[in-house]
Amino acid sequence: MQPVDFTTLTAACAELRQSWLPARVEQFYQRDRHTLAIALRTLDKRDWLSISWHPQAARICVGDRPPRTPDTFTFSDQLRHQLNGFALSGIVAIAPWERVLNFQFAKRPGDPPQWHLYAEIMGKYSNLILTDAHQQIVTCAHQVSSQKSSMRPVQTGQPYEPPPPLLGNAPSLTESRDRFVERVSLVPGKLKKQLLQSYRGVSPVLIASMAEKAGLDAQQSTETLSPADWDALFERWQEWLHCLENETFTPAWTKTGYTVLGWGAIAPAKNTQTLLNHYYTNQLNQQTYKQLRHQLEQKVKSLQKKLNQKAETFKTRLAQSDEADTYRALGDLLMAHLHQWQPGMKTITLPDFTTGEDTQIALNPEKNAVQNAQALYKQHQKLKRARNAVQPLLAEVQAEQQYLEQIETALSQIDDYRNPEDLQTLQEIREELIQENYLDGGRTKTRPDNAPEAQPHSYKTPSGFELLVGRNNRQNDQLTFRQAGDYDLWFHAQEVAGSHVLMRLEPGAVPDQADLQFAADFATYYSRSRQSDRVPAVYTEPKYVYKPKGAKPGVAIYQREQIIWGQPRQAEIYLQQN
């Protein structure tokens, strides 16, 4: 993940000063353990300023509106108590080339600041610290005790001390080209390393893009640079310093991340605020997506393993109960030949009633013939009762297995993060497993209450009809039992776990065979049989699709279905081409 460096922070602050000073502070909301949102209002607009001290995604930018879930963090409550109603009157750097900003708050614009909110955007050492007018720390996002850091503890009640000063020389436009070359090449080494050690305010990303712009490799040795190479590098160096001095930035997307200098741009960005908000929201969503998908996959596998063991146990007991009639037949046989029994016998061999073949019966020598026959009858009754008890238990386990297969299929179809809806779909699956008591919900919610629901996949058939494909059980139920109309058609891969597919039709519209084949291809593609060449799919009218009473989400039974053979590979080709 690309960190916010000094150049990016300068560009973000330049926009904030221009658009949001002064501004009235209306609300504080802490999104998570690392992100604070401040509602700011000017004469003509209102928006949310996000300040994050995340170890990998520390940043400052105008971001999205926070969710409506209650804010239970103490830090934001303290800020709310002290700063609500104040005006944000200034945003200044505490020292040249430092990534620490002082957000100043006063009663009115132009008044001396009464509160200072220091945003330290320094990677894993990032922090957010509130002090009063006398620089006494009132609260902070992350307290650092003297045991953790003897050099710079950060605790409430203590005076605020800036981070240790940076090493290296301060870049300057007045520095000559020869002096620049001398400093960087004084000790031979990689260009990137030498620039980082020689100057403040530079970052690995900045040096890499600067070197690329100059036609160089940041990893090449300074000894390999020709005078022309030094000229090109120094020209880019001066260009960078001019951008900082004049605050003229060009935010844009690059192949690997973003830039605020326009170097290596592949697409422009609206402004630095939008750029940072989109980039870090997307990166953090990807991290959350990977963690959540792994968690759900492992949980489903664990549940399936336990259910498989249960099912095998029940099947074994059913197999044993199949012998119930055998014990009754042996009891009848023994009762019919009581006269052949002798005291102390451990076995007795008698002719079978049907085949006439000799059948050996094990006996308890301490019991007489009648008692042994009664024991056989009791065993018959015991196994018979076991079958009646085990059969519904096995059916319940098999229903759970089918349900988890459906969950597993849905997870396998969300194989990579492409947009926020992929994460929303996973979060809905997690919520469903919590509701079905397969997961512990914990104290925190995965998804805010006001978060938009993920939408099903939408495609167009050859005739232009809309085809909707559910991405999880919630969407499957929504499509089948709420959205489906009287004229629509419902599709599903036959007898395998998969998505519910709905073809939306207007009154009087009749789909062609190509439309039906298109829908069948997608119904089988979004199923457990995705890897097969040809898979049977069923389709029927939605009024013939029912949910059994008490059935789990996504479960449906259907009637009056017709079968059409789907080709998952055709759907895959369509998706690759579109």
Across the range 35-45, mean pLDDT stands at: 95
What per-residue confidence (pLDDT) applies to 442?
62
Residue 37 pLDDT grade (very low, low, confident, very high; cuts 50, 70, 90): very high
Instruction: Give the length of the chain.
Output: 578
Residue 89 pLDDT grade (very low, low, confident, very high; cuts 50, 70, 90): very high
Q: What does the alpha-carbon distance between residue 266 and residue 253 come to, in Å, rounded to a whole number?
A: 6
Across the range 159-186, mean pLDDT stands at: 92
Q: Assess contact for 141 and 155: CB atoms under 8 A.
A: no
In the chain, the percentage of residues whose pLDDT exceeds 90 is: 77
Across the range 90-94, mean pLDDT stands at: 94
Handedness of CA 429, 552, 413, 578 (dihedral sign): negative
Across the range 393-412, mean pLDDT stands at: 92
pLDDT at position 415 over 90: no
pLDDT at position 444 over 80: no
pLDDT at position 145 over 90: no
What per-residue confidence (pLDDT) applies to 447?
53
Q: What angle do CA 484, 486, 489 make, to 5 degrees?
A: 60
Residue 220 pLDDT grade (very low, low, confident, very high; cuts 50, 70, 90): very high
Q: Output the pTM of the full model.
A: 0.80
What per-residue confidence (pLDDT) applies to 512?
94
Tell how strand 457-460 and strand 347-351 pair up: unpaired
User: Which range (243-257, 279-293, 397-411, 442-456) has the least confidence?
Assistant: 442-456
Q: What does the alpha-carbon distance between residue 296 and residue 410 come to, in Å, rounded to a whole number?
A: 11
How far is CA 9 from its chain centroid? 28
Across the range 49-78, mean pLDDT stands at: 93
What per-residue confidence (pLDDT) applies to 454?
80
What per-residue confidence (pLDDT) applies to 166?
83
Cα Rg, the chain, nearest whole Å: 36
Residue 150 pLDDT grade (very low, low, confident, very high; cuts 50, 70, 90): confident
3-state percent helix, strand, coil for the chain, nearest multiple of 5? 40, 20, 40
pLDDT at position 241 over 90: yes
What per-residue confidence (pLDDT) applies to 261?
95
What per-residue confidence (pLDDT) applies to 448?
52
pLDDT at position 303 over 70: yes
Residue 391 pLDDT grade (very low, low, confident, very high; cuts 50, 70, 90): confident
The mean pLDDT value of the chain amounts to 92
pLDDT at position 450 over 60: no
What per-residue confidence (pLDDT) applies to 416?
86
pLDDT at position 324 over 80: no
pLDDT at position 240 over 90: yes
Residue 507 pLDDT grade (very low, low, confident, very high; cuts 50, 70, 90): very high
pLDDT at position 322 over 80: no
Pick 187 or 273 by higher pLDDT: 273
Residue 364 pLDDT grade (very low, low, confident, very high; cuts 50, 70, 90): very high
Pick 150 or 331 by higher pLDDT: 331
Q: Quick check: bond before 22 cis, omega within 30?
A: yes
pLDDT at position 200 over 90: yes
User: Which range (23-37, 193-207, 333-347, 557-571) has the least confidence?
Assistant: 333-347
